[in-house]
């Protein structure tokens, strides 16, 4: 018979960042239920921003902490706090984008009532409504809380729960677009079915690793790989299944099929949040699984990850060239970036870890701000995302086109932008880790991606604008602030990267 059940030691302080976000999410649910409709939106924005701001302050105060809490299920260490701080800032930017109302004639990018049938009389009447439901705020907060928990999980079961907590609200948010609602609903169904499929694989991997190690703590998995010669099939099939779930979330080939559809169909502020934050959280979790749980079996999983990284860079770069929609192009570019980040992950060294962390920081801000620019270019039917409509934008609005061109340069990795330093950091780690061939593929893929970014820049500045082209909406301080933040971070990380590289370097130590 098993012994008596001991109550675990709980120390809440090191887990404060995510607890604060979850607390804000719960308050946000209560506001949705009880606050008067007219005041709901203001309260929701205030609670969301306060929750995320306090989480950011908590991560800063916790800096330097290295301990395992909640019966070793949560690891609070450098990578955790670095990514949580990044996610808190990006989450605030995402909340600001979701709150933008001055771009659309009525009320922002989110549907007034998601239950109204698209095209029905109710839906048409609500299309111009300014009173809208605000359930997107609690959903975003729960999702962000899950994202902050995801890279901190030292326990694979908790990692699965965090995966679902971050994913389930995102599936719903993908379907909340105010315009083009059928596309949005379709994106939600695709994202949900494929996401549930991938998380089932993740879970089966967890079960097999439990059978292998007798525990789902990553530290126990590591010691089991070091000591026993027991069933290696369980170990490797388990790791492969686990990797399917994680690679799906980061959008690596061959699990990238959902990326363009979901990025295009979701409301653009949600796409921005999802593109930046999900990737950061999922890479954080992947780093912890591979560096902690499978740090001693690197020789066995690296060939597989090599193949996936090469495929991801190649497919992402080549398919991005063929796109005619801005959001789909950015989606395929995010696939290519997944491949670049994988180069840093595969290095399996402290340098690879700090390079990957720096890349995620740089990539997150550039991505969220470039999607914010996409929300500005509009015609009568909403956002004008077809590339042909962007022709000559530089003549109509040099400021917006110039900002977008800068973000594309940062994504391409032009020197003096954050993208250059980020790529340099992961590729240098790759070369030092002996993956020179992989880095060569990465550089070639970077050149291909630079080609299609340059194509968009040429389109914007050297083509005649079409006569019935879109207009550039004047954003309120919400979107303008997000774009400004992205711009500032992209410039600072490109020109003065050293403090941030040092920070990432100091943060690159896992506890287990």
- To other proteins, the closest distance from the beta carbon of 253 in angstroms equals 15
Task: Give the residue with the Cβ less far from other proteins, 79 or 265.
Answer: 265
Task: Give the residue with the Cβ less far from other proteins, 325 or 432.
Answer: 325
> Among residues 349, 210, 213, 323, which one has the least CA distance to residue 263?
323
CA distance 261 to 325: 11
- How many distinct helices (H) and strands (E) make up the chain? 21, 5
Instruction: State CA 244 to chain mean position distance.
Output: 17
**Tokens standing for residue 455:** 């194509």
- To other proteins, the closest distance from the beta carbon of 208 in angstroms equals 7
Task: Give the residue with the Cβ less far from other proteins, 108 or 146.
Answer: 146
- To other proteins, the closest distance from the beta carbon of 179 in angstroms equals 13
Residue 68, sorted as left (phi over 0), alpha (psi -120 to 50) or beta, turns out to be beta
Count CB neighbours of 2 within 10 A.
Answer: 4
Residue 282, sorted as left (phi over 0), alpha (psi -120 to 50) or beta, turns out to be alpha
Task: Give the residue with the Cβ less far from other proteins, 124 or 200.
Answer: 200
Q: E strand or H helix at 484, and its extent?
A: helix 477-495
**Tokens standing for residue 399:** 């400021």
Question: Phi and psi dihedrals of 31, rounded to 5?
Answer: -60, -45
- To other proteins, the closest distance from the beta carbon of 143 in angstroms equals 12
Task: Give the residue with the Cβ less far from other proteins, 100 or 220.
Answer: 220
Place of tokens 């980040």: 341
- To other proteins, the closest distance from the beta carbon of 186 in angstroms equals 4
155: DSSP letter:
B
Task: Give the residue with the Cβ less far from other proteins, 168 or 493.
Answer: 168
153: DSSP letter:
B
> Among residues 97, 170, 108, 162, which one has the least CA distance to residue 140?
170
- To other proteins, the closest distance from the beta carbon of 108 in angstroms equals 20
Task: Give the residue with the Cβ less far from other proteins, 2 or 467.
Answer: 2
- To other proteins, the closest distance from the beta carbon of 285 in angstroms equals 16
CA distance 195 to 296: 29
CA distance 351 to 230: 32
Task: Give the residue with the Cβ less far from other proteins, 115 or 227.
Answer: 115
> Among residues 157, 156, 108, 160, which one has the least CA distance to residue 136?
108
Beta bridge partners of 85: none
Task: Give the residue with the Cβ less far from other proteins, 63 or 233.
Answer: 233
Give strand ranges (E) for 17-158.
Answer: 67-69, 74-76
Chain residues that interact with other proteins, rule: CB under 8 A: 2, 114-115, 117-119, 157, 160-161, 164, 168, 171-172, 175, 181-183, 185-190, 192-193, 196-197, 200-201, 203-204, 206-208, 210-211, 214-216, 260-261, 264-265, 319, 322-323, 325, 328
Task: Give the residue with the Cβ less far from other proteins, 288 or 328.
Answer: 328
- To other proteins, the closest distance from the beta carbon of 232 in angstroms equals 16
- To other proteins, the closest distance from the beta carbon of 353 in angstroms equals 29
- To other proteins, the closest distance from the beta carbon of 460 in angstroms equals 21
**Is the preceding omega at residue 254 within 30 degrees of 0, hence cis?**
yes
């Amino acid at each position: 018979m098993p012994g008596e059940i001991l109550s675990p030691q709980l120390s809440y302080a090191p887990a404060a960042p995510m607890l604060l976000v979850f607390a804000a999410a719960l308050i946000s649910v209560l506001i949705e239920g009880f606050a008067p409709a007219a005041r709901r939106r203001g309260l929701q924005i205030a609670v969301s921003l306060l929750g995320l701001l306090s989480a950011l302050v908590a991560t800063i105060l916790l800096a330097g902490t290295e301990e395992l809490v909640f019966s070793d299920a949560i690891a609070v260490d450098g990578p955790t706090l670095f990514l949580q701080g990044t996610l808190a800032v990006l989450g605030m930017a995402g909340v600001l984008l979701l709150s933008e109302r001055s771009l659309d004639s009525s009320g922002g990018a989110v549907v007034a009532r998601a239950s109204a049938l698209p095209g029905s009389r109710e839906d048409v009447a609500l299309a111009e409504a300014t009173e809208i439901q605000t359930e997107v705020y609690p959903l975003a907060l729960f999702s962000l809380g899950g994202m902050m928990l995801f890279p901190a999980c030292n326990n694979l079961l908790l990692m699965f729960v965090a995966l679902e907590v971050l994913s389930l609200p995102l599936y719903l948010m993908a379907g909340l677009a105010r315009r083009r609602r059928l596309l949005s609903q379709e994106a939600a169904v695709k994202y949900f079915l494929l996401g549930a499929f991938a998380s089932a694989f993740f879970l089966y991997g967890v079960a097999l690793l439990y059978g292998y190690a007798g525990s789902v703590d990553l530290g126990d998995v590591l010691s089991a790989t070091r000591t026993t010669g027991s069933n290696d099939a369980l170990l490797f099939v388990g790791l492969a299944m686990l990797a399917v779930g994680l690679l799906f979330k980061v959008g690596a080939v061959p699990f990238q099929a959902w990326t363009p559809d979901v990025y295009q169909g979701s409301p653009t502020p949600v796409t921005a949040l999802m593109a930046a934050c999900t990737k950061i959280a999922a890479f954080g979790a992947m780093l912890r699984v591979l560096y902690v749980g499978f740090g001693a079996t690197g020789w066995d999983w690296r060939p597989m990850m090599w193949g996936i990284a090469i495929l991801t860079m190649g497919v992402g770069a080549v398919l991005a060239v063929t796109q005619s929609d801005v959001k789909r192009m950015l989606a395929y570019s995010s696939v290519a970036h997944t491949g670049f980040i994988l180069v840093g992950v595969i290095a399996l060294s402290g340098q690879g870890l700090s390079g990957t962390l720096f890349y995620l920081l740089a990539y997150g801000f550039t991505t969220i701000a470039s999607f914010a620019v996409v929300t500005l270019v509009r015609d009568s039917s909403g956002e004008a995302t077809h590339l042909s409509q962007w022709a000559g934008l530089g003549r109509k609005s040099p400021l917006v086109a110039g900002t977008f061109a800068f973000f594309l340069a940062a994504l391409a990795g032009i020197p003096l932008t954050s993208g250059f330093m980020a790529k340099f950091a992961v590729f240098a780690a790759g070369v030092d880790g002996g993956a020179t061939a992989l880095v060569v593929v990465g550089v070639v893929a970077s050149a291909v991606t630079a080609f299609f970014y340059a194509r968009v820049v040429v389109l914007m500045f050297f083509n005649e604008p079409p006569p019935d082209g879109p207009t550039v909406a004047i954003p309120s301080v919400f979107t303008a602030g997000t774009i400004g933040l992205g711009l500032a971070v992209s410039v600072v990380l490109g020109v003065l990267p050293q403090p941030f590289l040092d920070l990432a370097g100091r943060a690159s130590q896992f506890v287990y």
